[in-house]
Structure formats: C-alpha cells, structure tokens
Amino acid sequence: MTKPPLIRKLKVVAPAQLEIVWSSGETLCVDVSRLLARYKLYAPLKDPVTFRKAKLDDWGHAVIWPGNIDMGADTLYERAREQAGAWGPEAFADWMQLHGLSLNGAADALGMTRRMMSHYRSGSRPIPRVVMLACQGWESHNRQRAA
C-alpha cells in the first residue's frame, strides 16, 4: 500500500489490541500480538503496562511507545483491514493463483481493468469489500457451472 490513511485517534482496548480511527472515517480494531511475538524489537510491548503507553505520533503516521518503538500506519491499516474481513494483497494473489488467472484473466473475470488487478495484487491500493465478494461470487459461479 503506497499511502494509507492517517491515524486520527488511538485507544488501547486490551493487551496487544488497538482501536484506531482513520482519516478515511473507518474505525478498526487491530490485534498486533503476532507482531509482538515475531519481532524482538516489540518484546517490551508484551508487558501490558508498557503496551498501554501507546500514543499517536505528531503526524498520524505511526503509533509510538517509550524506548523508540513504533508501528507504522501502513502496517496497522493493512492488518486491521485483513482482521476485519477485507482481503490483503496476499489473499488476492492466492485467489488468482488458485484459479490460474493472470492479471488479464482476473480483470476479465471481475469486469475490471488489468491495472486495478495489478494494484490489488501488489497492495498499492486497498481491496474493496465488493471486489472480495465479487471474487468469491465468481468462484462459486464457476464451481456450479463445473458441476
């Protein structure tokens, strides 16, 4: 994703969980426990007291904690959308691969442009829920035709 929305408000709702209000108008919760487990940099945030010290940076580009620890808005937005049921670029690429679709094939299947397929696959544009549903509908339609 090239330009995520900015973080407008931040609230710690549980250990390793944030509620974020984005400049897009969305309010999304994000669980960052996998990031805390995966990266040594985030080890101090496993302590709930330290995690609760989360603050918004001055520009809305990141969540910051004491000790020069931060998480960028791009990472948080992508994870929050995926956790809310929206597809990320990996899921879209997996869908294309599962059905043997090129960018042109995916564009034809969904009635969209090859350029948008490229954006969705690379993550340079968020995948709207309606596109995810169209992919699932296309898959279901083709399954029924094959039966």
Residues recorded for the chain: 147
d(Cα 89, Cα 120) in Å, to the nearest integer? 6
Q: Angle formed by the axes of helices 114-122 and 103-110, to 10°?
A: 110
Q: What are phi and psi of 12, to 5 degrees?
A: -85, 120
What's the CATH number for 7-83?
A: 3.30.2020.10
Per-residue model confidence (pLDDT) at position 26: 86
pTM for the whole thing? Answer: 0.67
d(Cα 46, Cα 37) in Å, to the nearest integer? 8
- One-letter amino acid at 64 equals I
- Domain range summary for the chain, segments of one domain joined by +: 7-83, 89-146
Say if 7-83 and 89-146 have the same CATH topology: no
Per-residue model confidence (pLDDT) at position 127: 86
Two tokens at 73?
Answer: 């808005």
d(Cα 120, Cα 129) in Å, to the nearest integer? 12
What's the CATH number for 89-146?
A: 1.10.260.40
Q: Are the C-beta atoms of residues 66 and 53 closer than 8 Å to each other?
A: yes
Give the chain's residues under pLDDT 70: 1-2
Q: Are the C-beta atoms of residues 61 and 10 closer than 8 Å to each other?
A: no
Per-residue model confidence (pLDDT) at position 1: 47
